[in-house]
Amino acid sequence: MKAVKIFNKTDLQIEPIERAFTIPSAWYTDQQILAYEKEHLFPFCWQYAGTGNVLPESGDHKPVTATGTPCLIVRDNDGRLRSFYNVCKHRGGPIATCPGNSKMLKCQYHGWTYRLDGSLRGVPHFRHAELFDKDAFGLTPVELRDWEGMLFLRCEKGPVDLHELLEGISGRISPVRLNDMGFKKRVVYDVNCNWKAYVDNYLEGYHIPHVHPELCDLLSIQDYRTELFPWYSLQLSPLKAKESIYSPGGGEDQAWYYFVFPNMMLNILPGRLQVNLVEPVTASICRVIFDYYYTNPQAPETDMLLVSDMKYSENVQQEDMEICEQVQLGLQSRAYDKGRFSVEMEQGVYHFQKLLKKFFRGDFANRGNKIYPENQK
Ligand code: FES
Ligand SMILES: [Fe+2]
């Protein structure tokens, strides 16, 4: 398979963490690798697409992007949520450019109309077209699933179902229920680093004393630990301070930091959830979305909580962005290719990179993923 030639075979080998090297710097800098990921990784993986409760009525629709792919989420006449590529079958125009409600969907370019089930309805000024089968020009569907009130899209059939991807999270965080939380605020950051450099950084607490010294008063770094699961990892750090941003009023001091392969984080705290999504833009730029959810999004006290949460996150995020941008320059330099892992502190980074290698190697090919040559007769 042509695309596989961009990978050096030894770089795809999986060694135990004690002996493993980190993925090579080219994976963070090469446009070809990014193009490969956009073609062969992200379309096969579930992508977080916000919450469904903003579309209560039939005809409600909103455009979203799934790692750069324009998609549209629609509530159809039966009250069911559906998703399509937000791409008209005439000449590729957008069906919707902002959220709205309508009985049918109308392309913004030349006005072709589609029913809420995606079938093509009206085609203006097309009387003289020959051999034109309207049934073959419906919107292309995208797989849509709901988990705990959040929506996930997948453009191509991939190796894992959504419930399998996230299995065990709801039980682990109980009695906290993500479904009880409502969307409050979105903040977007553009960061000058490859999306994987940002993910790597999220996945370890090794850097905390050096990059976030102020957090050492809050977190008990020596007790920091990472747990690994098939498709996600969980970071836990007991909190030192009983009265803190994490536990206003004290008492409830449990926090869960989930990373879900390949590019989503769920930061769960009592009463609130912060979802992070890391989207590639170019090989050396990523976009990081922070969505804030709260148990009582409309309550006046939630506004105060949001302000203090955002202030806290903003500080940490600035520190993380600065170090990730410096790391990107290091990865681009001639001085660096591959490094090694701290067995105590970098289990999460190793786990992410191992899943990535497995994806690229085709280890999931027999599970519905049709991108690998050994699976193609
Ligand atoms: S591109 Fe949609 S009607 Fe022309
Ligand atoms: Fe950090």
Domain boundaries, the chain: 2-45+175-361, 47-147
| HSE, side-chain direction, 13 A CA sphere, residue 360 | 28
Average of per-residue pLDDT across 173-194: 95
Show the DSSP H helices in the chain as ranges.
Answer: 26-29, 31-40, 162-165, 169-173, 195-202, 208-211, 300-332, 347-361
Q: What angle do CA 331, 333, 334 make, to 5 degrees?
A: 120
The pLDDT of residue 77 is above 70: yes
Q: What angle do CA 337, 189, 195 make, to 5 degrees?
A: 25
Task: For residue 366, name the pLDDT band (cuts at 50, 70, 90).
Answer: low
- Which residue's alpha carbon is at the smallest distance from atom 4 of ligand 1? 110
Dihedral sign computed on CA atoms, order 22, 166, 288, 227: negative
- Ligand 1 centre distance from Cα of residue 45 (Å): 29
Worst-scoring range by mean pLDDT, 132-136, 221-225, 335-339?
221-225
DSSP per position, 235-251: EE--BS-SSSSSSTTSS
Q: Whose CA is nearest to atom 3 of ligand 1?
A: 110
Paired tokens of 320: 């993380």
**How many Cα atoms within 13 Å fall on the side-chain side of residue 363?**
11
Q: Which residues, by Cβ under 5 Å, contact ligand 2, an ion?
A: 320
Across residues 226-254, what is the average pLDDT?
70
| Comparison of pLDDT for 372 and 313, the residue scoring more | 313
To which CATH superfamily is domain 2-45+175-361 assigned? Naphthalene 1,2-dioxygenase Alpha Subunit; Chain A, domain 1 (3.90.380.10)
Who's near 243: CB < 8 A, 6+ residues apart?
Answer: 249, 250
Q: How far apart are CA 100 and CA 117, in angstroms?
A: 16
CA of 103 to the centre of ligand 1 (A): 18
- With the most atoms of ligand 1 within 8 angstroms of its CB, the residue from 72, 86, 109 to mutate is 109
Q: Is the pLDDT of residue 255 over 90?
A: no
* Whole-number percent of the chain with pLDDT over 90: 82
Residue 221: its pLDDT value, please? 77
Q: Which CATH class is domain 47-147?
A: mainly beta
Q: What is the pLDDT of residue 374?
A: 40
Q: What's the pTM value of the predicted model, to 2 decimals?
A: 0.92
Please determine, for residue 249, whether its predicted confidence score (pLDDT) is greater than 60. Answer: no
Q: Cα of 251 to ligand 2 centre, how many Å?
A: 25
Assess whether the region 2-45+175-361 and the region 47-147 belong to the same CATH fold.
no
Overall average pLDDT of the 229-235 stretch: 97
For residues 2-7, give the mean pLDDT: 63
Which pLDDT does position 53 carry in this prediction? 85
Least confident of 3-17, 124-138, 178-192, 260-274: 3-17
Identify the pLDDT of residue 238.
72
Task: Encode pLDDT of 141-175 as tens digits.
Answer: 999 999 999 999 999 999 999 999 999 999 999 98
- Rounded CA gap, 109 and 132, in Å? 20
Write out pLDDT tens, residues 7-29: 988 999 999 999 999 999 999 99
Q: What is the pLDDT of residue 147?
A: 97
- Look at residue 373 and tell me whether its pLDDT is greater than 50: no
**Cα end-to-end span (Å), the chain:** 12
Which protein residues are within 6 Å of ligand 1, measured from CB? 88, 90-93, 107, 109-112
Per-residue pLDDT band at 377 (split at 50, 70, 90): very low
Cα 207 to ligand 2 centre (Å): 7
Decide if pLDDT at 73 tops 70.
Answer: yes
Q: How many CB atoms lie within 10 A of CB 279?
A: 20
Q: Which ligand is nearest to the CA of 90?
A: 1
Q: What pLDDT, on a 0 to 100 scale, did the predictor assign at position 334? A: 97
Q: Could you tell me the distance, in angstroms and rounded to a whole number, from the CA of residue 29 to the centre of ligand 2?
A: 21
Q: Which atom of ligand 1 is nearest to the CA of 91?
A: 1
Q: Which ligand neighbours the alpha carbon of 125 most closely?
A: 1
Measured CA distances, 369 to 45, 158, 365 (Å)? 10, 5, 5
